[in-house]
Structure 1
């Protein structure tokens, strides 16, 4: 039985580590994709503020 307990503990540790790895990967990817979506919106807000001030002689990147 000790061999089975050892195997079960080994598998349990691997599942926990795999779950933690997936969690951190998901957090990293969500931060990356959020920044890639928010940056263009931030540029658009800057451009809209310039238009609000009356400056119409620029291009939105």
Structure 2
């Protein structure tokens, strides 16, 4: 059984955007629907997701400062 750590990455987004609860549910559904074929794909997925999360947080931070 593969336990996903995605919620721990997504929860901080709740403080940035209240609609991220829908995003969390959507991503969990997509991830659970896709079988993880190897550790490499899981690691690449985590890196990609962290990059997207950081990008969203950075954009919101820049907009807030301006």
TM-score, with length taken from structure 1? 0.47
Comparing both structures, which one devotes a greater share of its residues to helix? Answer: 1
